[in-house]
Structure 1
Amino acid sequence: MSRLDRETFVKSQLEAIQKALTKLEMPLKPKHARRIIVGTHQERSSNIFWNTVSRMQLEKNPVISWKFCHLVHKLIRDGHRKVPEESYRFISRLKQLGQFWRHLNTSGYGICNEIYSKLICERLEFHKKYPVMPGSLTLTETQIKTLEADLDNAFEMTIDMLDQMDNLLNLQTKVFDTMESLRWSSLVPQGQCLLAPLILVILDTSKFYDYLVKMIFKLHGQLPPDALEGHRARFREVFRRTKKFYEESSNLQYFKYLVSVPTLPSTAPNFLQASDLDSYQTPHAQLYGDGSEDGQSVAEEALVAFDDEPVQQPSPASQPDPRDEQLVVLQRAVEDERFAKERLIAEARSRIEQYENRLAQMQAECDHARREAEEQRDERNRLQTELATRDASRVQSDDARVREAEERARASEERFNKMKGVYDKFKAEHVQALTKLGDLSKQLEASEKAKMDKEEELTIILRRLEEAQKSSDSLSSKAAGDAAAVDELRTQLAKADIEMEEMRRALDHEREKHSTALVQASSDFGSQLSALEKKLAQDIQDAVENMIQKADEDLQNATSISFPPHLAQSSISQVLSLLENLKLVGGTKEIINSVHNLTITVVSCASAAYTASIQHFDGVNEQCKKVLSKARIAFSEDSKYAMDEFIEEVKALEELMAGLPLQTDVDKVGFLCNTNLK
């Protein structure tokens, strides 16, 4: 590759990395990822990628960190075989990135970035520990059998693969929880950006699941079941979570056209039954396509990229020697072989170290077993010696114990005979003492009975004496009580007479006091009633005077008011009837009503006279004044004569009002005047 081609290649790689790691919330573009993966195959290294990424600030945006982890995951799976080994040198950068996002929950990506970074780190450590496992996790049957042949390595590798499954399923669980909490759909770009790495999780879990089933079955064929109880328990939990993950993923529209989600059986394999391995079916998960625009796979695009490299067509004079090309091909083959040999040597060294460690462990176990055997042999000899010594001493001690037992038996016989004599003597003395005790008891009972009889007689005498004393005391107290009762009754009778006299005096005093108060109240009520009547009469007179005064004032303005004569005549007739009724009944209400109607009627009559005929107005007006004058006198003096004169004046006013011309006469006169004027 020429220098110009090299610069073009590096520039295209930088451009692809820059376009792939953007902060837009959308899935990683497959074409950019494919260019980077193909670049690792062309370069046979991932140095360009890591040199570029190490200068980028991945922490500035959570989406960039998420896409970076996704891209590294794809490079480990699909990149050059050196990618896992070279990426391991940057594991500290990945751990730093995970630590940064541990406490930052930004847009739901914070904790997801931490879990994804941890997954990538442990994945690189897994490939470092097991170089035979490629990044794509694809092993041949021969390689699987080789791994199963080493029992210790297979035992430890299954534990590590279970850890890898836990990491993958933890990432899936957190992504689904974040999708649910943010209510994102798999059809929106934000949801697809978060779900895109789960395609790789589906591919990885299907591979790990297959290897775990086969290797755990193999371990059960070589180890006791109790030693693998932890493996079975962890696998059952992994099976449950993986099955749930596949079922939920198969329902998402986003995965439908990108990856085929495998289906797991309803129950986990029974590792205790070897026949289950025969019915086991490997779960297959494969990509329908990377979503590229031309539908090419990574390997095909790598070939196309190699074929599309610009080839300079030299002139015939500068045609390169075919041997040089063959030399380049051979150099590449030698490099590949050297890398393969280095990997085999590293793997062989790892195996040798494991075997040496195992051999040293077995040697230590053998030495330990030999030491235990020697200790057991020494312990057996010591026990045999102690047993022989114990048997010899036991015979001697048995003879001594027999002689000692005989001596104790003779001494016991002698003590028994002595005790028997003492017992017989004590028994005779005891019988004699019991006889004496019986006689004394009988004498004591007789004396006690006589004493009780004397005490009963004395008690009866004392009781009779007390009864006589009580009867004497009761008679004395009764006599004294009767005399005191008579004195008490006399005292109470005297007190009752005194109280009756006092009550009689108090009653007479109250009667006298009540009569005086009643007379005073009657006098006060009469005075108040007289004052109220006078005040009422004065108020009525003032009201009448005010109404008459008001009528006088209104009478002066009667010419400015038009009033029908016939209504005035009916009003004055009504006033006369009220005055006649007033003479018979009287009363405050009737007086006020009569004066009120009178004042209105007088003013109405004057206005009606002016309205009917000007020449009749003066007579009616003078008569109205006389009526008001007589009314003032009649209502101010309580005199029947003044009232009669007042009524006569009202009747005179009625006659004048009756003499007024009718409205028709006025109309005729007006018509004649108009005719003459014409």
Structure 2
Amino acid sequence: MASLSLPRVLQLKKNSLDAEREQFEKFQTLAIQKAINANETPVKEKHVRSTLIGTFKEQSAVTYWMVAIRLPLQENRIVAWKFCHVTHKLLREGHPACLDDSQRHIGMIENLGKLWVHLREGYGKLVHLYCNLLVCKLKFHARNPRFPGNMQLTAEELDAIAENDVNNYFQLCVELFDYMDEILNLQAAVFDSLGNARANSMTASGQCRLAALIPCAQDASQLYDCNVRLLFRLHASLPSDTLAGHRERFRQQFKKLSSFYKHASSLQYYRNLLTLPVLPSNPPNFLQQSDFGTYVTPVVTIPEPPPDEIDSVGSLIDTSDTMSQATMDNLEDFDRPSPSPQPDPIVERDRLIDHLQNELKRMRSEVSQLVQERNTMIGSMREHCSRIESQLHNAKVELEEEKHKAEILAVQTPEIKQKLTETEEKAKVTDEKFQKLKGAYTQLREEHITLIRQKAEVDKLSASLRAAAAQHESAKLALQQQLNDRNKDVELLQQSASSSEEIEAYKSEILSLRTELEQSRQKELELETLKASMEALEIEHNTATKEQEEKLTTVTNELKETTETLEKIKQEKEEREVELSRVKEELVGLRESSGEEYKKVVEEKEAALKQVAELQQQHLQEKELLETRLGHAESKRLNAECELQDLLQHNTVLEADLAALKRQLEEAQKALQNQTTRLVTCAGEVALEVANGALESFENGQAGDTVTAAADLAAKALDELARHIEVSGNEESVLKSAMFAAHNTAQLSAYVADVSNVSTDIALAEKLNTECRSMLMATKECLESIKGGSIVGSHCSDARSRVRSLMTSAAAADRLNSGARSVDDELADMDKAIEEAASQIENMLAATRAGSSGVKLEVNGKILDACTTLMGAVKILVQDARKLQNELGDPKTRQKMYRKNPQWSEGLISAAKAVVFAAKLLVTSADEAVGASGQVEGVSAAAHEVAGSTAQLVAASRARAPPESPALARLTQASRAVASATGALVAAVKAGSALVLEQEALDTSALSLTATRRLEMESKVRSLKLETALDAERARLAALRKRHYQLAQLEENGNVENGKD
């Protein structure tokens, strides 16, 4: 019964806190998605403000990053730009924890910038620079965590951060310079993207870009202030030469920042959003500390939003009741009459405003504290709920385990009883052994203590004996000295023949001294005897001590092993008791701490425990039933033996049937083996035929012939499959046809893939791919029908028709690709055309020298010599270009490269054609210059055309050339020679024109007044005609250039042929 109610308990409902958290996340997600959208309009401040308020409510930026990383930042450039803008605002004005929460996303911001840097125009470069700025800001705050996000610091706070250390000032100044560089780079890129038209600032697209510079301007002013203060500190402590680099870098940033503020102040868009400071005309002079006294901190101010926008946070934090009550109380106090004179109403109003502001701050702090306490309570309740859920799950698992154990115990009861008996016997034996070892250990310990005490007494005795021996030795020495003195006295007395009484007295004294000496000698012998006995006792004591220690060690080890065994048994018992007590304590704790919901859980847990007890009771009852059933089983066993005899008889009959079935199985296996052998032989024949056909096609034909043969074989194989309806009876034929069809259609698809890859016509390539895919799908359906044992003829016929159609389209596309002229052919034609043009100019030079004279010969000779030099340089350049192409590989390799890179090859062919056209134009212009017309201006225009076309050829050749190629170096040198020869030709044309004009100068000395006026009028008319013709010619030139650019673009895209779109 209890197990049925456990799932209902596990399905806990969401509480109000979870609902509130879900509502908050939904509100934040909506605000962030509205702030960061794909519309090219400025970010709305109300959505950004809602996001910032959410960070203060959550006290982190976790929700913001959770939503931001799911936005399409890598797909939409507008979304990426607005993401950078909102993230910058979040780091500046959000909760202080936003800086720490954003550190782990530095890698994502860097990768976003690296992605958009490939889009070199528009927002790509701007997003890259803004990502660099955000990464620089995050790394700066990671290195300097005491800097706030808005960078607003007082002078005291700045000194405290730098710890008044010159090294810290120096390093901090460098980091601030790097930060400022990123801001200045971003603003320069934004203004460059807008262009010089100031009207862009009032359009939605312009405002979308300019709005992001507002937080940049705020950061820049604070960075400028910090840099000025730090540089004055550094110049007060370090020599000026050391800080020269810092001054130069500050000077450059000062110019850029001043230009930024002036440029932004001139825009109408910024006038209503912020007030920018005006920097002085010259930067501060850091070499004079007195300039710091006149320094004024630049401040960027932003007007306060309207009152209706300030109250927008009311949906998040409701303080209306408290605010209204406090306001009413203050207003009542303010309106209450007083006996004193009326105070100044302005002062009272200011006092009331200050009081209300303080009250508002206090209430906000209380609200934030309540929010924090609520979040803490929510976290603790969630943890408690998770613990309760885990305990419920564990209880359910334990209940299932107990049920499983009960079932196992029902089977293993006899073994468990036997093991329990053996365990009890082992425990008794271990206990007895432990008691014996404990008694032996106690006895050994007492003996060891006794020996230690005896050793102490012996040590004391030996010390006293040593002291007595030392005293006896000193006494012996003293007596020996006295004896010697007395002997000397006796000798002196004998020499002096003193009286006999004195001699006798001295003799008696000598005898007494000798007796004392003998006694001292005896005591010395006794002392030596005691020393020997003491040493013997020490040796015996040491031996006994060692033996006792060895015994003690052995007994201790055995005691430890026994103790460990006993401790393990006790520990197991204690663990069971602890587990039981823990369950009881959990039940009691759950009763005391939980509500009705937890009481139900406890009751269900108790019911589960009761159920376990009932299961145990059932186990005992089942055990008794098993014992009763055992008797019945014995009787059944006898009946089973009788039935076994019957089964044995039946088994002999089945064995005979089994032998017959085995013979049939062997025959079927032999038939299957024969069929498999035929199929393998058939597969080998097909493979050999395919290999022979491929070898024959390779040796005698081309790749196209091989593919054509493959397509024919595939069509024949599919036709053969379509003739068969059933697979059975036609296995070999169906197998051969299926293998031929699969192999040859695969070969045809590979050929079509190669043709479509090298085709320059995208529509044709897509058509070939579509037809190839349809052919393969039709072949697949045809082959899949073989699995069912029957072949669908319509599928095979459809596949056959698609194979033939695809082969026709692929062959046509291949012929179209092969029919195009190659780059090598165009280069060869270009070389021939240049040689012809050079020979024509040489012939013109020879004809001019033979048929002209005077100034005309001089002018034409200089021009044709310059043309010859230019054509020689162009000829060398063309030869070097061909050599550079030859370095790319053999003709087959180059042809493959041209087909794989159609745009590059078309560009190279276009450049070669342009060189040929310019050379022919130069020959024509030179012919006209030396002819009757004598117009040398066409030669100058043709020379410029030659220089432009050769530059195009050099650029196209350099695109695929190796950078270290010698031919590329020679080609570059030849290009410079062509440019030099072009300049020489233009100079020769100008000099010739000047020489002709000097010769044709008008002689006015013989003209009358009337003739002079007539010639003047004619000159004016001619000049007006020439000006009109010049304007018309310029308009014609502009139209031709426009058409030229259009045709060149169409030709690059492959949409023009023979001058027709």
- TM-score under structure 2 normalisation? 0.29
- TM-score under structure 1 normalisation? 0.44
